[in-house]
């Protein structure tokens, strides 16, 4: 068996397995790189070289940057601005704002990240504005594909084609050079969606609509009865409570006041030490009585009303409702409102059994604790980090994920400015090419961890390992196709079909083959297969590889016709209630527009 037939067989089997989707994509990709070694097409070092490739490292760092933007609330803030700007406006204005924002976001953090971040926001927008989610979600995902062509950071494929251009002896593509075609792609996509989208898209809501958490904090405090006259008092330097344990706070002489929580002033964590200056005491009760208590104990008390939700639900801390399931290890343990959990970083604000409050709040006499039973519910308060870590416990059932609540409702956290600064510096390094992309990404990811925005463990979890392994394992395929002459052979066959004297026909053929493959397998995998073919075709015609590679990048972004063409398409399927055949209706005109730009506009910008 000749090397060309052998490698063609490996590619064919890989494509079949990708389309079949019964075998995980990463397993197929790893099998490909191992097959290249086992068949003798490549040495072991060559087969595994993708795992140490600088481009793969850069793609991994982009996941960390995306996670930092989400964690610090930058994306939630931007999404809230979108909702506020849309208001009760027309469909066109809402879509224009949505598409413009998701395009910009996808240019910075990639299509999947942008759609994943904005999907809950858009579904909530549809609910609040009484619009069908199916009318908003395909425009969201499809415009993100166009937005990915605005910058080098928009897609791993952009990085791959730029790297391939350099390897082929041409100039790589600048950080924002993609916008030369990205802007026409985006403008045309937005026009098609505005003009024809309403007729081409179904009118329906999906069965997996996420919950609207806009009133989450208010609902919880009202349900657990802690919403009345909630106030925050700050400990002064002269307070008798200084250097005392929180249990020293007694309210027996202040009937009608309840102690809700005692928090560290700088971190909003429950007190695990003695009370210090600037710590906060959260209480509820009559304002006049609270003012007297504050005066008696030298506590700062705001005369103006504070937002009751912000006291418990803010950038630093949040709320979570949990249910005690049968066979929980917490059954029989005694709790009371105001107590700190055994972990020391969560406060039990309230406990209910069959909808009625149980236990005496901290500070009321000696208090009394109630043993927990199956079915009891607790309202817990603590930092977002503590909620994420401590509630990942089989002894409790979380009613609403703190992570989902935070993403939808908490905007611009304390580390937001640091994150924005880091991202701006990274983009500047990419734009000026002062350092290689991998170095810029690693500097950004390192700064995010060192500044405390994410921990090292959170950074590891943020990386989309499926994408990383897929790219790393499939990258040696390009080496094998070049070294065995397979890419040259395929390019010659393609040239024989389109004609060696017609670069435009070559662009058209490469676009159609790449885009067709990308509707059923990973567009990254399709690009990795087609890049060496395109480079060989350009060399055979004696033309520049730049327009060829840019056409492949555009074809890879034209993932409109099926829900499996891209992760973003799959994400919106449930919330939008789409069936398999409801993608091509709007996707086909967009596909045609991408074809026109790829074949007729690209050569005018990057000449043959």
Q: What 8-state DSSP symbol labels residue 566? A: S
Q: What is the mean pLDDT of residues 598-605?
A: 92
Pinpoint the alpha helices (H) of 433-563. Answer: 437-450, 456-462, 465-483, 486-498, 503-518, 523-541, 545-557
> Minimal CA–CA distance to 201: which of 52, 72, 91, 71?
91
Q: What is the mean pLDDT of residues 487-492?
A: 68
Least confident of 356-370, 436-450, 472-486: 356-370
The Cα–Cα gap between 154 and 138 comes to 18
Using pLDDT thresholds of 50, 70 and 90, give the confidence band for residue 491. low
Full-model pTM: 0.66
Using pLDDT thresholds of 50, 70 and 90, give the confidence band for residue 368. low
Contacts of 532 (CB under 8 A, 6+ apart): 164, 478, 481, 482, 487
Q: Return the residue matching tokens 């490292």.
A: 57
pLDDT at position 446, please?
95
Q: What's the first-to-final CA gap in the chain, in angstroms? A: 36
3-state secondary structure 493-504: HHHHHHCCCCHH
pLDDT in tens, 184-205: 999 999 999 999 988 898 888 7
8 Å CB contact between 552 and 527: yes
Phi, psi of 350 (to 5 degrees): -160, 155
Least confident of 171-180, 332-341, 528-537, 561-570: 561-570
Least confident of 8-12, 195-199, 505-509: 8-12
Residue 439: Cβ-neighbour burial (10 angstroms; 0-12, 13-18, 19+): middle
Instruction: Say whether pLDDT at 508 is over 70.
Output: yes
Q: Return the residue matching tokens 């490996």.
A: 10
Q: What is the mean pLDDT of residues 13-35?
A: 82
Pinpoint the alpha helices (H) of 149-286. Answer: 156-167, 179-200, 216-223
Using pLDDT thresholds of 50, 70 and 90, give the confidence band for residue 155. confident
Mean pLDDT of the chain: 82
Q: What is the mean pLDDT of residues 335-346?
A: 80
8 Å CB contact between 18 and 25: yes
Q: What is the mean pLDDT of residues 29-36?
A: 90
Instruction: Say whether pLDDT at 225 is over 80.
Output: no
Contacts of 378 (CB under 8 A, 6+ apart): 321, 322, 324, 335, 348, 350, 351, 352, 396
User: What Cα–Cα distance (Å) separates residue 491 from each residue in 383, 464, 541?
Assistant: 58, 33, 10
Highest mean pLDDT among 92-101, 429-438, 467-476, 499-508: 92-101
Domain boundaries, the chain: 74-208, 214-399
Q: What is the mean pLDDT of residues 379-397?
A: 82
More confident site: 274 or 404: 274
CA–centroid distance for 241 within its chain: 44
Count of Cβ atoms closer than 10 Å to residue 493 Cβ: 12
Count of Cβ atoms closer than 10 Å to residue 5 Cβ: 11
The Cα–Cα gap between 280 and 269 comes to 10
Instruction: Output the six-digit token pair for 504.
Output: 């435009």
pLDDT at position 187, please?
95
More confident site: 138 or 174: 138
Count of Cβ atoms closer than 10 Å to residue 153 Cβ: 28
CATH number of 214-399: 3.30.70.1450
Least confident of 418-422, 479-483, 510-514: 479-483
Instruction: Say whether pLDDT at 307 is over 60.
Output: no
pLDDT at position 362, please?
58
Residue 318: Cβ-neighbour burial (10 angstroms; 0-12, 13-18, 19+): buried
> Minimal CA–CA distance to 372: which of 409, 405, 339, 416?
339
Q: State the DSSP string of 18-64.
A: HHH-SS-HHHHHHHHHHHHHHTTSS-HHHHTGGGG-HHHHHHHHHHH
Instruction: Say whether pLDDT at 366 is over 50.
Output: no
| Whole-angstrom Cα Rg for the chain | 29
More confident site: 563 or 181: 181
Instruction: Say whether pLDDT at 590 is over 90.
Output: yes
Q: What is the mean pLDDT of residues 272-283?
A: 85
Q: Helix, strand, coil shares of the chain as percentages rounded to 5? A: 60, 10, 35
The Cα–Cα gap between 547 and 124 comes to 41
pLDDT in tens, 102-138: 898 888 877 877 776 677 677 777 776 778 888 889 9
Highest mean pLDDT among 469-478, 499-508, 538-547: 538-547
Instruction: Say whether pLDDT at 304 is over 60.
Output: no
Q: Which residues pair with 230 in a beta bridge?
A: 284
pLDDT at position 181, please?
94
> Minimal CA–CA distance to 590: which of 194, 206, 76?
194
Instruction: Output the six-digit token pair for 396.
Output: 């409790």
Highest mean pLDDT among 317-326, 349-358, 526-535, 595-604: 595-604
């Amino acid at each position: 068996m000749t090397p060309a037939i052998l490698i063609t067989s490996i590619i064919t089997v890989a494509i079949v397995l990708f389309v079949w989707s019964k075998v995980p994509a990463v397993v197929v990709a790893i099998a490909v790189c191992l097959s290249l070694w086992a068949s003798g097409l490549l040495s072991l070092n060559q087969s595994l070289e993708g795992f140490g490739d600088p481009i793969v490292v850069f793609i991994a760092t982009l996941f960390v940057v995306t996670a930092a933007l989400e964690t610090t609330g930058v994306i939630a803030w931007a999404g809230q601005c979108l909702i506020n700007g849309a208001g009760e406006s027309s469909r066109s204005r809402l879509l224009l704002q949505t598409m413009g924002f998701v395009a910009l976001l996808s240019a910075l953090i990639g299509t999947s990240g942008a759609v994943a971040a904005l999907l809950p926001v858009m579904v909530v927008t549809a609910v609040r504005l009484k619009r069908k989610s199916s009318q908003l979600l395909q425009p969201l995902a499809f415009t993100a594909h166009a937005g990915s062509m605005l910058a080098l950071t928009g897609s791993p494929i952009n990085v791959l084609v730029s790297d391939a251009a350099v390897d082929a002896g041409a100039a790589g593509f600048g950080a924002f050079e993609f916008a030369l075609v990205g802007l026409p792609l985006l403008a045309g996509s937005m026009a098609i969606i505005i003009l024809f989208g309403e007729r081409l898209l179904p009118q329906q809501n999906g069965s997996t609509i996420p919950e609207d958490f806009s009133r989450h904090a208010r609902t919880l405090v009202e349900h657990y009865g802690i919403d009345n006259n909630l106030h925050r008092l700050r400990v002064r330097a002269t307070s008798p409570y200084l250097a005392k344990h929180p249990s020293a706070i007694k309210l027996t002489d202040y009937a009608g006041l309840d102690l809700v929580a005692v928090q560290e002033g700088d971190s909003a964590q429950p007190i695990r030490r003695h009370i210090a200056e600037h710590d906060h005491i959260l209480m509820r009760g009559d304002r006049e009585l609270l003012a007297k208590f504050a005066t008696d104990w030298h506590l700062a008390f705001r005369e103006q009303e504070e937002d009751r939700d912000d006291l418990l639900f803010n950038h630093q801390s949040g709320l979570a409702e949990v249910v005690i399931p049968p066979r929980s290890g917490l059954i029989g343990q005694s709790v009371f409102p105001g107590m700190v959990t055994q972990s020391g970083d969560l406060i039990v604000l309230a406990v209910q059994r069959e909808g009625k409050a149980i236990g005496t709040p901290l500070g009321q006499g000696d208090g009394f604790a109630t043993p927990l039973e199956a079915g009891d519910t607790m309202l817990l308060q603590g930092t977002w980090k503590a909620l994420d870590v401590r509630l990942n416990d089989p002894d409790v059932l979380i009613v609403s994920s703190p992570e989902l609540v935070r993403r939808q409702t908490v905007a611009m956290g304390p580390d937001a400015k640091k994150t924005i600064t880091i991202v701006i510096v990274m983009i500047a390094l990419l734009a000026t090419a002062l350092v290689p992309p991998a170095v810029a990404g690693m500097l950004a990811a390192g700064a995010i961890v060192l500044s405390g925005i994410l921990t090292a463990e959170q950074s590891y979890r943020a990386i989309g390992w499926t994408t990383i392994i897929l790219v790393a394992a499939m990258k040696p395929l390009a080496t094998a196709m070049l070294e065995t002459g397979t890419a040259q052979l395929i390019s010659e066959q393609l040239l024989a079909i389109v004609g060696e004297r017609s670069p435009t026909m070559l662009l058209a053929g490469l676009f159609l083959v790449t885009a067709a493959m990308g509707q059923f397998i990973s567009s990254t995998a399709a690009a990795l297969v087609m890049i060496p073919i395109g480079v060989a075709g350009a060399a055979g015609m004696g033309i520049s590889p730049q327009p060829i590679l840019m056409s492949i990048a555009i074809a890879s972004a034209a993932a409109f016709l099926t829900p499996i063409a891209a992760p973003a398409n799959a994400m919106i399927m449930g919330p939008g209630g789409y069936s398999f055949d409801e993608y091509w209706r709007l996707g086909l005109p967009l596909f045609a527009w991408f074809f026109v730009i790829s074949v007729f506009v690209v050569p005018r910008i990057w000449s043959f």
